Structure 1
Amino acid sequence: MALDQVDGVGFHSELTQTQQVYDGLSSCLQDIKDNIYIMATFADAKSPPVLNALEDANVHYAGFYKFNNSALFASNKGKDESQDSDSDDEESTYICKLFWEMGYRSMTNFFMKLGKTFPASLTLTKQVLEERNHLQLVVIGLQNQIQLGLTKLSNLNQERDMLARLDDDIVGSANHTEVVEVPEIIKIDLNTKEHVTNCIKCNMTCHYPCYIPKDEDKAGCWAMSEQHCRICPGKCYWDIHKNMGFRFDTKWNKEQRTVQELLDRYEKAQKGKLTKESIILSIEQDINEHANKVLDMIREAQKHVEHLDDIALKPNPLSTKEYIELMIESEKMQKRHNFGKRIQMLQKIKDEVSVFQGVRGNFRNHSGEGLLKYFQDLMIQ
């Protein structure tokens, strides 16, 4: 796997080695200074002395973060567990706690800053990198919406098959039930330093994490294109997108649905007498409508992929899917703490990469129906 962009470079330890790396990167990249971070180890409450040395050496950096890892080697025994501890031990424990909290704050601030930093491209122009970041947002939104759409299609097909199995007297079968998967929109609270772009009309999260906290500036969010959102289904205007203290997510629940509920849903749309054939016809119309929506989302991704290839210095950058698979296998072999959660996260990333590669590799060679089958196989497990 080749490196195609630099999100951040963290320097610590000896200045001579640090400057050699810095000089090497500077010779390759023009704007690397915005991606340089100083990790000041063995730090205390004062400003790290290394900053003066960096200034004298003309090393530019985006920020510095203080760490003192002596807390990692402190005893976990508290005052109640160690009655023989003297005042020196108590003072040492207090200092280690301060160092730990300092490192925790520094690491939190570092990742918040890193998320706001524009990557320095090694193989792409700035225009391509911006377009690729936009495409990644579209793909993430695409994956969620396709899953919703395909689940809806699956439920509609299930309802159609259920009616086909029943007698013509559907009213007499009103209490017949089937189990279906139903999406539920839930809210997940954010911490105070996180921001989000939520569409208040579509009730969905269009960009998370977002680094534009003010609602009046949401036109500049990466999810927006020409004043409209490219993520939410309604492609809504930017000013109905807000920063809130939560993000939307989808939870899937299994529910029992009766034939009567199906009749109630289609009764208003049909003026005449409800028959099994008329309801099946209405369901098939809904199926076609939702299938077209899914295909429209795939075509939206195609537009971005084709434009990306047109402007790329090196079109079709190397895939990361195989690398992610190796990481998953490594986690399975090593079985370190919480390896199961890391595997789940890696698998989710791999699925998103699979969508991206599927869009890139299949659009030029398959019909819309073939692509729909591709995404059905990918999303419906």
Structure 2
Amino acid sequence: SSSRKPIIVQIHHGPPSIYQLIPKKELIGTLTRVTIGEKDASKTNKTILLVGETGAGKSTMINALFNYAVGGKFEDEVWFQIVEEEQRSQTESQTSDVVVYQMFGFEGQTLPFSLTIIDTPGFGSTRGFKEDVSVSRRLFDLFRSEDGVHEINAVGLVMKASDNRLSDRLKYIFDSVTSLFGKDLEKNIVALVTHSDGKPPLNVIKALENAEIKCSRDEMNQPVHFMFNNQQIEQRNRTDKDQDGSKYSWDFTKEEMGRLKEFLKKTKPQPLKTTVEVLNERIRLEACIQNLEQRIELTELKQNELKQIEEAYNKHEEEMKENQNFTIEVDEVSKEKEPVKGGKWGLVFLEGAITCSVCEENCHYPGCTMARKPGHCEVMKRDHCKVCTNRCHVSNHVKENWIYVIKTKKVQKTLEDVKAKYDKNKEECEKKSSLLENLKQETINLTAERASLLDEAYNHVIRLKQIALNVNSGNTFKHLDFLIKKMKEKGDQEKLKVLQELKIRMDKRQ
């Protein structure tokens, strides 16, 4: 199709003259999409996902890629920017928006393909773990939406040439991102070295090796890397020496851009089917464990209630039989609905909770964003919930801005009250010799349910370990201590050992 010229505003007279492009912008769910030019169906598309700390130079790299794509030359003394300065500062300081830049057909284009760049400025933000989980969620929304991204050609780990080690935060960022992907993406991960003087980036290579970062390797078994200078927009003086220095910076960056182009051309794109599977598994794991934590709390409180009844019954049995109005005090457990924050986008809850009205349980909260209704949520599989107790049909679930919370309150109970609650089935009751047997059986049932839930959570972790390129995400790490503690209580030594070994490996990476 014909190219559409974007609006261009000169913001600096130079040399070089700097022009700001005002591209088409749109919100796609929780993401921002920036489009330049018009899609050409005859051209293939290559997608790069950029990751790195704030200030590493991702924005300048995106601009450099665009200038290379339009065939910019040093002699032209012109530089185009597609990342707006205002947007850049806001993105880095206030939000965790994922921005998708789509570079389609335009005049002077030198690339044989269109280019999609996904920028993730929120990773490693000072706002911490919750913010980074939000970025992971937004990437997931992008990967699974119909008009989103379904394959990745390269994941670019953006590092400064001076970085001689990976900071704890940078390592955390890399772990967070690689944990999003399946093992099949390792050959597509490359280092993009910014602020380079053109010399081999020995610091960066050593830092990647020491941190054991999984990535593509060259014929020398070194991490595949591309170098870029960030001085293209610096004011050029008219001295020959300065001109030569500026031209060298421009030329080696252009040469490296050419190498990156060849890498994108020859490297097999990785479909994100496994990635979506990994993310689904992570979301189910999170939902399963959160549900498990609440149900364990519920079983423990119920067991305490049963213990109180049993002790009071043993102590006052004769009095209760003689006096029907004789009461005992117990901490009765119940569930109540409690409002939660539930922001809307259009008619959809961006934040809300998927709950089961039959089990009265929270199946997915927090984190359920793009699901318009329960059937769209990741915890559903083949129209049934993978989280709630009875694996209920999707029709028994709602997405609202409230959750179930567990409450206890002291109540007075008579013998008849107790029997009505625990002798629910008369036929079963006749088979049992006493109310105490019913209470004992109820306790056994609660213990078995807890064990079953714990095994399910364990299976999620093992599945994740099998398919994920890296399981060292804060998401998984956060739950290991809980699982280890409960597995110890259960006494399953074999599974406990597997979890402890996984935690030791993850501890080494922290």
Q: Are 2:358 and 2:396, in contact at CA under 8 Å, matched by a contact in 1?
A: yes
1:123-181, Cα deviation, whole Å (9 max, x unpaired): 85224444233212211111111111221122112211221122435323542322314
Tell me what 1:40 maps to: 88
Once the two structures are TM-superposed, the CA of residue 267 in structure 1 deviates from its matched residue by: 5.6
Tell me what 1:48 maps to: none
Tell me what 2:225 maps to: none
Is 1:141 aligned to residue 295 of structure 2?
A: no
Q: What is the alpha-carbon root mean square deviation over aligned residues?
A: 4.8
Hey, what's the Cα distance between the residues in 1 that align with 2:405 and 2:455? Answer: 24
Tell me what 1:191 maps to: 343
Tell me what 1:170 maps to: 320
1:294-351, Cα deviation, whole Å (9 max, x unpaired): 222112223223333344555x7488899xxxxxxxxxxxxxxxxxxxxxxxxxxx6x
Give TM-score, length-normalised by structure 1: 0.54
Amino acid at match of 2:482: V
Hey, what's the Cα distance between the residues in 1 that align with 2:60 and 2:487? Answer: 39
1:173-228, Cα deviation, whole Å (9 max, x unpaired): 5423223142331231423342432223333331133123433xx43411123331
**Counterpart secondary structure, 1:249:** strand
Structure whose alpha-carbon radius of gyration is higher: 2
Q: Are 1:305 and 1:360, in contact at CA under 8 Å, matched by a contact in 2?
A: no
**Counterpart secondary structure, 2:392:** coil
Tell me what 2:444 maps to: 288
Q: Are 1:39 and 1:64, in contact at CA under 8 Å, matched by a contact in 2?
A: no
Is 1:180 aligned to residue 331 of structure 2?
A: yes
Distance 1:19 1:258, change over 3 A: same
Matches within 5 A, 1:195-234: 195-208=352-365, 209-215=367-373, 218-234=374-390
Give TM-score, length-normalised by structure 2: 0.42
Distance 1:123 1:186, change over 3 A: closer
Hey, what's the Cα distance between the residues in 1 that align with 2:58 and 2:418? Answer: 73
Hey, what's the Cα distance between the residues in 1 that align with 2:62 and 2:428? Answer: 81
- The unaligned stretches of length 5 or more in structure 1 are 1-6, 24-36, 44-50, 66-108, 323-349, 369-381
**Counterpart secondary structure, 1:234:** coil
Deviates more, 1:183-192 or 1:140-149: 183-192
Q: Relative contact order (alpha carbons < 8 A, sep ≥ 6): 1 or 2 greater?
A: 1
Tell me what 1:60 maps to: 117
Once the two structures are TM-superposed, the CA of residue 20 in structure 1 deviates from its matched residue by: 8.9
Tell me what 1:355 maps to: 482
1:242-282, Cα deviation, whole Å (9 max, x unpaired): 222x22131423222323321333466447999x9611111
Once the two structures are TM-superposed, the CA of residue 39 in structure 1 deviates from its matched residue by: 4.5
**Counterpart secondary structure, 1:212:** coil
Matches within 5 A, 1:156-167: 156-167=306-317
Once the two structures are TM-superposed, the CA of residue 229 in structure 1 deviates from its matched residue by: 0.7
Deviates more, 1:256-265 or 1:122-131: 122-131
Q: Are 2:298 and 2:406, in contact at CA under 8 Å, matched by a contact in 1?
A: no
**Counterpart secondary structure, 2:463:** helix
**Counterpart secondary structure, 1:196:** strand
Once the two structures are TM-superposed, the CA of residue 120 in structure 1 deviates from its matched residue by: 3.3
Once the two structures are TM-superposed, the CA of residue 235 in structure 1 deviates from its matched residue by: 0.6
Distance 1:171 1:366, change over 3 A: farther
Q: Percent identity?
A: 18
Q: Are 2:312 and 2:328, in contact at CA under 8 Å, matched by a contact in 1?
A: no
Q: Are 1:180 and 1:257, in contact at CA under 8 Å, matched by a contact in 2?
A: no
Distance 1:221 1:307, change over 3 A: same
Hey, what's the Cα distance between the residues in 1 that align with 2:315 and 2:284? Answer: 46
Matches within 5 A, 1:20-169: 39-41=87-89, 60-61=117-118, 115-118=137-140, 120-121=177-178, 125=182, 126=275, 127-169=277-319
Amino acid at match of 1:40: R
Hey, what's the Cα distance between the residues in 2 that align with 1:186 and 1:124? Answer: 36
Matches within 5 A, 1:180-329: 180-189=331-340, 190-192=342-344, 193-208=350-365, 209-215=367-373, 218-244=374-400, 246-260=401-415, 261-266=417-422, 269-270=425-426, 278-313=434-469, 317=472
**Counterpart secondary structure, 1:120:** helix
Higher strand fraction (1 or 2): 2
Amino acid at match of 1:137: A
Tell me what 1:339 maps to: none
- The unaligned stretches of length 5 or more in structure 2 are 1-48, 66-84, 92-98, 104-108, 110-114, 123-130, 141-175, 183-274, 345-349, 497-510
Hey, what's the Cα distance between the residues in 1 that align with 2:314 and 2:443? Answer: 15
Higher helix fraction (1 or 2): 1
Q: Are 1:205 and 1:247, in contact at CA under 8 Å, matched by a contact in 2?
A: no
Hey, what's the Cα distance between the residues in 2 that align with 1:232 and 1:273? Answer: 28
1:53-93, Cα deviation, whole Å (9 max, x unpaired): 9979x78346999xxxxxxxxxxxxxxxxxxxxxxxxxxxx
